[in-house]
Amino acid sequence: MSRNQSRIHSLLLRSVQVEPAEVTALLWSFSYFFALLCSYYIVRPMRDEMGILGGVENLQWLFTGTLIAITAAVPLFGWVSSRFPRRRFLPYVYGFFILVMLLFYLLMDEHRATPYVARAFFIWASVFNLFVVSVFWSFMTDIYANNQARRLFGFIAAGGTLGALTGPALTTLLVQPLGARNLLLVSALLLSWAIFCIARLSNWSADNPTNHDTPVTAAENQSLGGGIWAGITLVARSPYLLGICLLMLLFTTLATFLYLMQAQIVRDAFADSAQRTAVFAAIDLTVNGLTLLLQLFLTSRLIKWFGLAMVLAIVPLLLSAGFTLLGIAPVLTVLLVVQVIRRAGNYAIMRPAREMLYVVLTMEEKYKAKNLIDTVVYRTGDAVSAWIYAGMRGLGMNLAGIAMIAIPLALVWAGIAFSLGRQQVKLAEAPCPEEV
């Protein structure tokens, strides 16, 4: 190790337990996730504003459209991953989203998008978010072993959070002088950097075969094989994966309830479109600032102190308390505080811990089954819960009543999360599936 590398290693040790041989991969993973979420968070405030331009009363239709779009995308991903090696199909995924981003750049007007373009953009951005992040974490669970994931995933997630801080900051500063349309080009450039990071990490993976349970040549130079619908059969055969599906459905249901409450209250509180976009960006900045602090200094320590099972249950338990407060006082300030706590807790604690559930699975499960859960199951929860929310509002139920219904759902979510954490530990201690 050179003197510079030694200094970097010593600096990193202040916040993450990284081994010298892991430093290069850790930094490229950090950079990869930074570029990915910076790219998305540039367009996220635009997506939220497009949802309002398309009509708040139509949001449940937009969630349904997102589900249809993502259901159509999953077999395409299955086809690509079945026929091309990891080194090739990962850049193909990101390249596709870059092309679509450039298409929206051509379709958008300088000043205001039409309702149809706004709705299409909302659906595309929702698919973009889930797919690119799902593929990222599939890659991470593939190149890192279980013990590495427990030590490094919190810090890697911080790279995404730093990108998520930078993205809305750029949007807030540049949306007025440049216009939202031109920010799409910046987002596309960042996504291109993520493709370069994939190449560097693939090279590191090939040079460090001792970090893998499967032969590196299989991971780098062979396709996953299987059918385009393999993700469905893999999930259907595994109680463990079915449990993750249920966890995801409960998570998305409660997150959607809060999102729709937020859209309704922000619409009523602010009349100007640019002002609403700035408010959404400010919320993102608050969430991501808190998330970054937690990821750098707390996430890995929580897992070490309390274990994976308890860490997975922390966020739903906090959310049950948050919904209790909303049931008592369903006002803007309380809702935004609960939303910030939920999102920061999810990104800093729940998400890295949830990704660790996949480290103990086979390579095909890490990509195909995980992608199905992260996209179709996720958006199914979004769409169904959006219609449930619309139905409850249509029946005259107020925000306080909806919050009270959410409390027991959060407690069930906590119980399932705890159980899955305990199962992961048992699977990690058992022989790997490839070795059975």
Residue 29 has pLDDT above 90, yes or no: yes
User: 57-72, pLDDT tens digit by residue?
Assistant: 666 677 778 778 877 7
Q: Percent helix, strand and coil across the chain, each rounded to 5?
A: 85, 0, 15
Q: Please, what is the average pLDDT of the chain?
A: 80
Q: How confident is the model at residue 216 (pLDDT cuts 50, 70, 90)?
A: very low
Q: Are 371 and 134 in contact (CB under 8 A)?
A: yes
Region 218-233: mean pLDDT is 59
Region 125-134: mean pLDDT is 83
Of the listed ranges 40-44, 236-240, 263-267, 313-317, the one predicted with least confidence: 263-267
List all residues 6 or more positions away from 189 whose beta carbon is below 8 Å from its beta carbon: none
Distances (CA, A) of 20 to 132, 171, 199, 221, 250: 29, 37, 21, 27, 39
Is 387 a domain residue? Answer: yes
Residue 432 DSSP one-character state: P
Residue 430 DSSP one-character state: S
Is 68 a domain residue? Answer: yes
Is 347 a domain residue? Answer: yes
Is 74 a domain residue? Answer: yes
The Cα–Cα gap between 365 and 387 comes to 30
Region 203-226: mean pLDDT is 58
The Cα–Cα gap between 234 and 81 comes to 15
By C-alpha distance, which of 388, 385, 53, 114 is closest to 250? 385
pLDDT at 212: 47
φ, ψ dihedrals at 85, nearest 5° = -70, 160
Region 19-36: mean pLDDT is 90
Give the CATH number, domain containing residue 99.
Answer: 1.20.1250.20
Residue 87 belongs to domain spanning: 19-435
What angle is formed at CA 369 by the lines to CA 364 and CA 374, rounded to 5 degrees?
135
Is 26 a domain residue? Answer: yes
pLDDT at 99: 92
- What secondary structure does DSSP assign to 150-212, as a single string? HHHHHHHHHHHHHHHHHHHHHHHHHHHHH-HHHHHHHHHHHHHHHHHHHHHHHHHHHH-GGG-
* Number of domains into which the chain is organized: 1
Q: Are 29 and 170 in contact (CB under 8 A)?
A: no
pLDDT at 224: 56
Is 8 a domain residue? Answer: no
- What SS3 state is found at 223? strand
Region 136-142: mean pLDDT is 86
Q: Which helix (H) or strand (E) holds 231?
A: helix 230-236
Is 82 a domain residue? Answer: yes
The Cα–Cα gap between 118 and 51 comes to 7
Residue 434 has pLDDT above 50, yes or no: no
User: What is the C-alpha end-to-end distance of the chain, expressed in Å?
Assistant: 37
pLDDT at 217: 45
Distance of CA 320 to the CA centre of its chain: 21
Q: How confident is the model at residue 372 (pLDDT cuts 50, 70, 90)?
A: confident
Check residues 24 and 84 and name the one with the higher pLDDT: 24
pLDDT at 209: 57
Region 176-202: mean pLDDT is 87
User: To which residue do tokens 């006002």 refer?
Assistant: 331
Q: How confident is the model at residue 151 (pLDDT cuts 50, 70, 90)?
A: confident
Q: How confident is the model at residue 436 (pLDDT cuts 50, 70, 90)?
A: very low
Is 168 a domain residue? Answer: yes
User: 382-429, pLDDT tens digit by residue?
Assistant: 778 888 888 888 888 888 888 899 899 999 999 999 999 999 988 887
CA pseudo-torsion sign 305, 307, 312, 317: negative
Tokens of 215: 């032969």
Region 277-299: mean pLDDT is 78
User: 257-272, pLDDT tens digit by residue?
Assistant: 888 877 777 777 776 7
